[in-house]
Amino acid sequence: MTSAFAVLRDQVGPAVPEAGLARKAVFDGVAFGAVLREATMQSASQEAARQLLHDMRQLLDVLVLPGPVKSIVMEEIDRASHDTGVQQRRRRQRALLATENPHGPSALDLADSFDILEQALA
Amino acid sequence: MRWVVDTSAWARREIPEVRRQLEDILAERDESEFVLSPVVLLELLRGPQGDADVSAERGMLTSSMATLGVDAATFELAADAMEALARHDATAHRLPVADLVTAALAHQHRSGVVHCDDHFELLANCSGLQFVQRRIELPADDAQRSSGHLIAGRQRALKQEPFQLLHREPVADAEAFLERTVRALRERGEP
């Protein structure tokens, strides 16, 4: 959340007062996006994060809001969804790197054998 | 940055130096992640045996990495790359199809390629495809030679020459040679 405001402060410059920055953060969807991202990161599981984003999308459909505001919020939901997916995959990839890889040598051996075959036939 | 991880690197991830370099790539940026080329996925699925193991491996890989989409444009790019390589050198285009498609995908999806395979350096430099390639350095010291991977590597190197020679022989001669060899091995009591 703090970093989201810092980015916005850099964008608007020091002349805009704090209250103006906060208003802009709300109307531009920055505050919403930051809260949403934080909520999905803190979710207990991938399923919980997905459910949260799904619920937000459904809620947005029924809320009576001006079109431009809906678009901004939807973009933030999409961005949060993308970011959450990336972070979850990164966590899994790190975990995978720490596990045993019993099938790696066989896969490599077969890939090399096919390479040799292709080169021999070339 | 998204990195397509090639079989040559991912299948060696148990080697500590390889794992460390892969972890370093993930740690470079918050958005750094590995992604799968469908052909790499197929190559990796040739490792396990039996449907349960193949399904488990597939589930593990596809739930951890996004898979890049292949379409007709991917193969157009790969064919363009072959033409460019053939212009560079008469036989340079005779690369493994999996590497060509993976490089074309990396270009198409603006991703990098992480590998331990000379072909990707050639593809990045001479094929006209635009992608960043990162080579994973393999350990060369004696301590690592005792690992199963390097023993397998030596076995692969040993197999390479007879394999290539055999494929240059007429089919009947190659078959006769193989029959004699199999018979001799069986007589020695080996499977």
What's the pLDDT tens digit per position in B60-111? 999 999 999 999 999 999 999 999 999 998 888 989 999 999 999 999 999 9
The distance of A26 to chain B (nearest Cα, Å) reads: 25
- Best B116, B146, B160 residue to mutate vs chain A (most A CBs within 10 Å): B160
Containing A50, the helix (H) or strand (E) segment is helix A46-62
Tokens of A89: 């995959």
Do residues B70 and B101 lie in contact, with contact meaning Cβ atoms separated by under 8 Å? yes
With CB atoms and an 8 Å threshold, state whether B8 touches A117: no
CB contact under 8 Å between A116 and B164, yes or no, is yes
Say what the pLDDT of residue A13 is.
80
Are residues B40 and B10 in contact, defined by beta-carbon separation less than 8 angstroms? yes
% of chain A exceeding 70 in pLDDT: 77
In this prediction the ipTM stands at: 0.73
- Please write the tens of the pLDDT for every residue from B102-135: 999 999 999 999 999 989 999 999 999 999 999 9
Tell me the pLDDT band of A40, cut-offs 50, 70 and 90. confident
Looking at the partner chain, which of B19, B33, B168 has a beta carbon nearest the beta carbon of A89?
B33
Instruction: Give the pLDDT of residue A119.
Output: 62
B101 has a chain A CB within 8 A of its CB: no
Q: Interface of chain A against chain B, CB under 8 Å?
A: 85-87, 89-90, 92-98, 100-122
* Interchain contact, B164 vs A120, CB within 8 Å: yes
Res A58: pLDDT: 82
The structure tokens 């802009």 sit at: A24
Question: For B2, phi and psi rounded to 5 degrees?
Answer: -100, 135
Inter-chain touch A120–B8, beta carbons under 8 Å: no
The continuous run of DSSP H or E covering A88 comes out as: helix A67-97
Give the one of B14, B26, B45 whose C-beta lies nearest to A101's C-beta: B14
Beta bridge partners, A51, equal none
Of B32, B47, B96, the CB nearest to A103: B47
The mean predicted confidence, pLDDT, of chain B is: 88
What residues of chain A lie within 8 A of the CB of B8, using their CB? 108, 111
Q: Biggest alpha carbon distance in chain B? A: 59
Best CA proximity match to B111, nearest among B127, B132, B129: B132
Q: Residue A120 has what pLDDT?
A: 58
Would you say residue B145 has pLDDT above 50?
Answer: no
Q: Is the pLDDT of residue B154 over 70?
A: no
| pLDDT recorded at residue A68 | 81
Q: Within 10 A of A84 (CB to CB), how many other CB atoms are there?
A: 21
Nearest-CA distance from A84 to chain B in Å?
A: 10
Cβ-Cβ contacts under 8 Å, A111 against chain B: 7-8, 11, 43, 46, 98
